[in-house]
Amino acid sequence: MPATPRPLTLPAPAKLNRMLHIVGRRQDGYHELQTLFQIIDLCDYLSFNLRQDGVIELTTSMDGVAHDDNLIVRAAKRLQQASGTHLGASISIEKHLPMGGGLGGGSSNAATVLKGLNQLWQLGLSDATLAELGLALGADVPVFVLGKSAWAEGVGEKLTPATLDTPWFVVIHPGISVSTPAIFQDPELTRDSLPITMARALQGGVAEWRNDCEATVKKRYPRIAEALDWLAQHAPSRLTGTGACLFAAFESQEAAQTVAELANQRWQAWVARGLNTSPLQDALGC
Ligand code: C5P
């Protein structure tokens, strides 16, 4: 009997927005922003098995993940269409990242699908092409295709790799989910921040900058405000994206661990290492 080929298993890491300024609104309703994306080592894991019949199949033990408009399936079908391949894949996911938490989990899954299937189907598409395909799926997909911590402008797609310090982060999920479109559409959202330069953004740590969505999110979601205020007693706390997750930076793993253990008594909390290169890049050897 021929040996069953081993699946290709790849990580899909999370990101934090160390700062986020909203500098304008486009005709299509999307917002022009400036943000520092930092990749962290909290990951989902996706496994891919080649199929000759062209079918894209997703399996997972998590409720609410395996439906057809899932970003994983959409990314695979988009790549299939764009490349004209007749190959398919069975994809399974080991989910660790919360959905709708501001950690970019869904976008990162999509980027891992694009990069993983590009390799499995031997398409040879460039990262620039994959990022373009990914942008149509979500504004945060391109940074995960790039696979590096980065300064981002536009809606998040104009990327410049950035070398950031790599602290230990405490990441807290306060157990609720935030509607990103509702936050971006809130009339009171800070939309007129003056643009800053990448050099200035890089000079500031988590304490120096802010997230322009934070005031609106705090007002609409008192439980997030409570968690931000609690974490701020230990170190400057910041929302990532439009939440619901929030974070603070620590110099040592031990200090982060101590705060995470306290946080875990009330919410779900993790200790994560800040990275400059995505573990996906390392796994793919590029
Ligand atoms: O692209 P993504 O699916 O992550 O965006 C979700 C929603 O967030 C969009 O439909 C839009 O309302 C809002 N958004 C925005 N400006 C951005 C990113 C997202 O207004 N740069």
Task: Pull the structure tokens for residue 100.
Answer: 């709708």
pLDDT of res. 229: 98
**What is the C-alpha separation between 236 and 251, in angstroms, rounded?**
13
**Residue of the nearest CA to atom 13 in ligand 1?**
181
What mean pLDDT do residues 76-98 have?
A: 97
CA neighbor of 34 nearest in space, from 201, 245, 236, 216: 201
Q: Please, are residues 57 and 51 in contact by the beta-carbon 8 Å criterion?
A: yes
203 and 246: one domain? yes
Asked if residue 3 has pLDDT above 70, the reply is: no
Confidence of residue 97 (pLDDT cuts 50, 70, 90): very high
What mean pLDDT do residues 216-232 have?
A: 97
**Residue of the nearest CA to atom 21 in ligand 1?**
155
| Ligand 1 center from residue 30 Cα (angstroms) | 6
Task: Pull the structure tokens for residue 201.
Answer: 């953004």
**Residue of the nearest CA to atom 20 in ligand 1?**
30
Q: Which residues contact 7 (CB under 8 A, 6 or more apart)?
A: 47, 48, 49, 92
Confidence of residue 20 (pLDDT cuts 50, 70, 90): very high
Q: Which residues contact 21 (CB under 8 A, 6 or more apart)?
A: 33, 34, 35, 193, 195, 196, 212
Provide the residue range defining the domain that includes 148. 8-162
CATH number of the domain that residue 114 is part of: 3.30.230.10
Contacts 24+ apart (CB under 8 A), 157-164: 157/131, 160/198, 162/36, 162/198, 162/202, 162/276, 163/276, 164/18, 164/36, 164/38, 164/202, 164/274, 164/276
Amino acid at 125: L
Residue whose pair of structure tokens reads 């790599």 in the numeric block: 166
Does 94 fall in a domain?
yes
Question: Into how many domains does the chain fold?
Answer: 2
Average pLDDT, the chain: 93
The residue out of 142, 162, 182 marking a domain boundary is 162
Does 281 fall in a domain?
no
| Ligand 1 center from residue 153 Cα (angstroms) | 14
Residue whose pair of structure tokens reads 């705090």 in the numeric block: 218
Q: What residues are in contact with ligand 1 under a 6 Å CB criterion? A: 29-31, 33, 138-140, 155-156, 180-181, 184
**What is the C-alpha separation between 172 and 228, in angstroms, rounded?**
9
Does 85 fall in a domain?
yes
Task: Pull the structure tokens for residue 175.
Answer: 């157990």
Known binding-site residue numbers = 98-108
| Ligand 1 center from residue 181 Cα (angstroms) | 6
Other Cβ atoms less than 10 A from the Cβ of 141: the count is 29
Does 134 fall in a domain?
yes
ipTM, 2 dp: 0.95
85 and 154: one domain? yes
What mean pLDDT do residues 25-37 have?
A: 93
Does 30 fall in a domain?
yes
Tell me the pLDDT tens digit for each residue of 144-166: 999 999 999 999 999 999 999 99
Helix axes 127-135, 71-83, angle to 10 degrees: 130
Does 42 fall in a domain?
yes
Please give the angle made by the CA atoms of 241, 48 and 84, to the nearest 5 degrees. 90
pLDDT of res. 63: 62
Confidence of residue 194 (pLDDT cuts 50, 70, 90): confident
Confidence of residue 1 (pLDDT cuts 50, 70, 90): low
The residue out of 162, 191, 215 marking a domain boundary is 162
Backbone angles phi, psi at 250, to 5 degrees: -135, 150
Q: Please, are residues 127 and 159 in contact by the beta-carbon 8 Å criterion?
A: no
Q: Please, are residues 33 and 184 in contact by the beta-carbon 8 Å criterion?
A: no
The residue out of 111, 127, 162 marking a domain boundary is 162
**What is the C-alpha separation between 17 and 34, in angstroms, rounded?**
10
Amino acid at 5: P
Question: Which residues are catalytically annotated?
Answer: 15, 140
Counting ligand 1 atoms within 8 A of each CB, the residue from 26, 99, 184 with the most, and so the one to mutate, is 184
pLDDT of res. 205: 76
Indicate the burial class of 191 (C-beta count within 10 angstroms; 0-12, 13-18, 19 or more).
middle
Amino acid at 147: G
Counting ligand 1 atoms within 8 A of each CB, the residue from 180, 189, 193, 242 with the most, and so the one to mutate, is 180
